[in-house]
Amino acid sequence: MSVTVEGAGTFASLNPATGEVVAEHPVHDDAAVAAALGRAREAAHWWGALGWKERRVRLLNVKGSLTRNLGRMAELVHQETGKPLKDAQLEIIMAVAHLDWAARNAAKVLGPRSVRPGLMALNQRCLLEYRPLGVVGVIGPWNYPVLTPMGSIAYALAAGNAVVFKPSEYTPGVGELLAGIVAGVVPEHPVLQTVTGRGPTGAALAASPAVDKIAFTGSARTARRVMAACAANLTPIVAECSGKDACLVDADADLDAAADAVLWGAMSNAGQTCIGVERVYVVDEAYEAFLGKLADRARGLRPGFDREADYGPITMPAQLDVIERHIGDALERGGEAVVGGAASVRRPYVDPVVLTGVPDDAAAVREETFGPTVTVHRVKDLDEAVEKANATGYGLAGTVFSGSRSRALDAARRIRSGMTSINSFASFVQVAALPFGGVGESGFGRVHGADGLREFARPKAITRQRFATGNLTSFAGTDKDMARVLGLVTLLHGRRHRR
Ligand code: NAD
């Protein structure tokens, strides 16, 4: 359900292509957020006690309802973000897959299991289970307004928590529709509520002592603020932040496939993708051929809001200044625009831009651009490509194209990031069983997969003594008891190990 509130004012969500108002939404202030958290606490008690099977059925029905509402949701995403309808559909399809996986796997990943006690504690029966945290606050971005928050919401709900969701101020309608879909299937308690507003609404959620964890997705800058607010209550957070991901292209790579993947990775959703390709490092022998293929394809792309457009406008007007600055700075510092250039920024659209010869310390190579631009660099081998890919503070994902399985795997391992896709772009996102998250400025903690479920649960260890052994942890213990245990420890652990 979405939260209704009197007197705190409203704000409009706008279509970034036309500037038209999509809808008005309430601004939820501190009191409204606190009220939502209060309701969520009750919902969490009920939902947590419901048990794995009941939650699974309900979440699979939420998935069914989201699937049946896919058209309506996609149209709303299209209106609020400006992205093409088919991109919105694809995003929702992936969100559905995550809901399905989380619902089906929560009991297996988080349910009670016995653990072997080891020889020193043979008299103990050991139980490990993962309890819900209670109330999870999810703060989301606008660029994938269904898929990204669902990466936290689905897993948090499946783990037995209630969720209060603060969508981006650019996509509040999507957040409200999501909460409405959940309420339609789970009418008993508001297990998912949406609070709308700008930064201060998110800040109220993060600062509340009534929230048990914050799942934040957005910029590293805002993540720092959220973390600072959470520090006051020792509220843990998972932070999914910005990126500056690279694609590495080996000398023997399939260059058509690499050019296709880089084109999609850099330009789809107008480049507004946290794991988007922003830099490409191409091994010398393949450089000219790859660049030609990429440039040819990029020239064929057209932004717009019509059904044939390849990608939409820049959703957040302020980002246009960043994109303009990065292109301008790159050109001023000796870079060359092989496709597009400074004139490619035609507000609210940006035509494709492919830059070469941009110095490593330029903003276009170091900072997140979040536009349909990409820098292409010549390197002598994959080692240099890995080194350059790792030369930013970010570390979200990455791509490697190579004809050699072993070289690709070796490079994938050495890229300092949470995910790497070999010979395709970002395939890990579609695989719900794989964890998703970054390192460094790209954040910490994981959503998706078993790790994503555990992120929203608290491990609980229980031991039950079956029979008494020595008195070592008693004041009645004797030197003889200790001597016996020392003998056992020497036998068990004192040996030398040979290969
Ligand atoms: P943002 O940081 O501006 O805002 C994110 C959310 O935080 C919004 O809902 C916003 O209202 C809220 N917020 C703002 N100030 C706040 C405060 N002081 N306290 C609490 N909440 C506050 O980011 P954005 O522009 O919405 O999203 C784009 C960014 O998100 C990009 O940097 C992108 O790379 C990143 N992103 C990361 C992932 C990932 O999984 N790593 C996924 C999608 C987007």
pLDDT for the residue 474? 87
Ligand 1 centroid to Cα of residue 196, in Å, is 14
CB of residue 396 inside a 6 A radius of ligand 1: yes
Q: Is 90 exceeded by the pLDDT of residue 470?
A: no
Between vectors from CA 28 to CA 24 and to CA 32, what angle results, nearest 5°? 140
Q: Peptide bond preceding 359: is omega within 30 degrees of 0, i.e. cis?
A: no
Give, using CA atoms, the residue closest to atom 41 of ligand 1: 240
Q: Is 50 exceeded by the pLDDT of residue 7?
A: no
pLDDT for the residue 3? 52
The model's pTM is: 0.96
CA distance linking residue 406 with residue 420, whole number of Å: 14
CB of residue 276 inside a 6 A radius of ligand 1: no
Q: What is the pLDDT of residues 409-466, one digit of tens each?
A: 999 999 999 999 999 999 999 999 999 999 999 999 999 999 999 999 999 999 999 9
Residue 471 pLDDT level (bands cut at 50, 70, 90): confident
Ligand 1 centroid to Cα of residue 243, in Å, is 12
Query: Is the CB of residue 279 less than 8 Å from the CB of residue 401?
Result: no
For residue 461, CA distances in Å to 115, 322, 465 come to 9, 49, 13
Please state the atom number of ligand 1 nearest to the C-alpha of residue 222: 2
pLDDT for the residue 29? 97
Q: Does domain 245-433 have CATH number 3.40.309.10?
A: yes
pLDDT for the residue 2? 47
Strand partners, 461: 128
Q: What is the pLDDT of residues 199-258, one digit of tens each?
A: 999 999 999 999 999 999 999 999 999 999 999 999 999 999 999 999 999 999 999 999
CB of residue 449 inside a 6 A radius of ligand 1: no
Q: Is 60 exceeded by the pLDDT of residue 6?
A: no
Q: Is 70 exceeded by the pLDDT of residue 119?
A: yes
pLDDT for the residue 140? 98
Q: Is 90 exceeded by the pLDDT of residue 481?
A: no
Q: Does domain 10-241+448-458 have CATH number 3.40.47.10?
A: no
Give the residue-averaged pLDDT of 485-498: 91
Ligand 1 centroid to Cα of residue 166, in Å, is 11
Among the listed ranges 49-63, 234-248, 381-395, 471-485, which one has the minimum average pLDDT value?
471-485
- Its sign, for the CA torsion 442, 448, 451, 455, is positive
Ligand 1 pocket test, pick from 148, 274, 367, 370 with the greatest ligand atom count within 8 Å of Cβ, gives 274
Q: Is 80 exceeded by the pLDDT of residue 1?
A: no
Give, using CA atoms, the residue closest to atom 35 of ligand 1: 218
Ligand 1 centroid to Cα of residue 219, in Å, is 5
Long-range Cβ contact pairs of 377-383 (< 8 A, separation 24 or more):
377/279, 377/280, 377/281, 377/282, 378/282, 378/284, 378/287, 379/281, 379/282, 379/283, 379/284, 380/283, 380/284, 381/251, 381/283, 381/284, 382/248, 382/250, 382/283, 382/407, 382/410, 382/411
The SS3 of residue 447 is strand
The larger pLDDT score, comparing residue 8 to residue 476, is at 476
For the chain, the structural domain boundaries read 10-241+448-458, 245-433
DSSP string, 163-175: EEEE--TTSHHHH
Give the residue-averaged pLDDT of 356-366: 98
Among the listed ranges 74-78, 165-169, 308-312, 483-487, which one has the minimum average pLDDT value?
483-487
CB of residue 333 inside a 6 A radius of ligand 1: no
3-state helix, strand, coil in the chain (%, to 5): 45, 20, 35
**Is 245-433 in the same CATH topology as 10-241+448-458?**
no
Q: What is the pLDDT of residues 127-177, one digit of tens each?
A: 999 999 999 999 999 999 999 999 999 999 999 999 999 999 999 999 999
CA distance linking residue 223 with residue 228, whole number of Å: 8
pLDDT for the residue 222? 98
Q: Which two tokens stand for residue 472?
A: 């070592």
CA distance linking residue 168 with residue 450, whole number of Å: 26
Q: What is the mean pLDDT of the chain?
A: 96
> Can 240 be counted among the known catalytic residues?
yes
